[in-house]
Structure 1
């Protein structure tokens, strides 16, 4: 059985509304912090949290738009997101605020933390990892990448999964490989998945509730059902590899 809740908390001078999903029972459970795409916290990320709870994780889908989504409003979205991406301190603060909410959930195993981020949310979880938050696993799907700096990643642990589409103009395979080389030089465990023919935000199905209709208005953005499923399976495989006993806790 999965238990869900909406949690409000303060960050970036705003009141955020996160989605929490957890297995029933006392735990302890590994925990996953989820960062949404620039469009906002939608049903897709909420469902990721629910599925992870079904697999034996406590998952918090953070919010960094104060409950707002920008479906069909690309200019408004960019006006909100671009200043954030230009300010690492704000990203750290937003990420840490959500992380503290997750860590305060009863049953969280603080020694078994992971992070999953999409787009700008991928940048947030990468910033946290670079700040030495002890994630055991980090999955970033078409992330907005931080600066390539080997020194930042020296001493960072955990396994990294970086995913993008071959046709993504905003997070190209070459950019991910360059970033991966910085991880490699720092001694980090990393892998890159490139999905042939996929564009940016390839997971976002505009035909589903909460799906992004940006496909019709933003060049280089399109849903790809097959690769969406493959990327999600890669995330589940990473977590199962790092936390092989995720479901082995006391349940109700």
Structure 2
């Protein structure tokens, strides 16, 4: 298994993702690709660990840059300013998300017909937005990401997995209920895993340093949601070996 930078261009910017590849023999069959959108700060240790874990399971995983130039924020004020700017122009955001998907699809070892997307926090919302745009995805996994959108569910082609905390102040239960009703009305294949006594950012050990109420890591919910993802990917890509 190896992790190397993957460069691509969109929205007038250079983007630098991190591509995790399993060890492959010459002539090996192409593998499913997993696109990973990170938390608001950018591509950091958490999503790189996820990409490497998936590569060890014989997926090709790209931890995608959302800010440009591989920017990883350590200042929350600058980070929030960047996120607000990105979200203020939905078409520019989708251009960036689609460019990451296209970059993964161009990797020679990836089967472009078998790609899923997952995301964490802001990246979870990005994953859902990409699915809502009608992108050619087999599945989309959303981990403690917002579920509300200006886009409706009518164009979704992917199966959806949502893993969220019952005590998450950024994804209240009313939002989960509305999402469930919306997806059912659109005929989407969806599932929601709701974890009790669990707040925002529960998959990332780094979230434990956030002092805000309702935020923090949960080892049990992290373990359960990871198992849910692996089962979901086995459904989406049943012939993966």
Query: Could you state the TM-score of these two structures normalised by the residue count of structure 2?
Result: 0.91
> In the alignment, which of 67, 71, 76 is matched to residue 70 of structure 2?
67
Work out whether 1:164 is the aligned partner of 2:164: yes
Whether the 8 Å contact between 1:148 and 1:178 is mirrored in structure 2 is: no
Pairing of 1:1-252 with structure 2 (within 5 A): 2-25=1-24, 26-65=28-67, 66-71=69-74, 73-147=75-149, 152-205=152-205, 211-212=206-207, 214-216=209-211, 218-247=212-241
Whether the 8 Å contact between 2:144 and 2:164 is mirrored in structure 1 is: yes
Report the Cα offset of residue 80 of structure 1: 1.0
How many residue pairs match? The answer is 237
Whether the 8 Å contact between 1:126 and 1:146 is mirrored in structure 2 is: no
Gaps of 5+ in 1: 206-210, 248-252
Whether the 8 Å contact between 1:74 and 1:214 is mirrored in structure 2 is: no
The SS at the match of 1:147 is coil
Give the structure 2 partner of residue 250 of structure 1.
none
Whether the 8 Å contact between 1:35 and 1:125 is mirrored in structure 2 is: yes
Report the Cα offset of residue 70 of structure 1: 2.7
Report the Cα offset of residue 148 of structure 1: 6.2
Query: Could you state the TM-score of these two structures normalised by the residue count of structure 1?
Result: 0.87
Q: Which has the higher contact order (CA 8 A, sep 6+)?
A: 1
Give the structure 2 partner of residue 208 of structure 1.
none
- Give the Cα separation in 2 of the matches to 1:148 and 1:235: 26
Gaps of 5+ in 2: none
Whether the 8 Å contact between 1:6 and 1:20 is mirrored in structure 2 is: yes
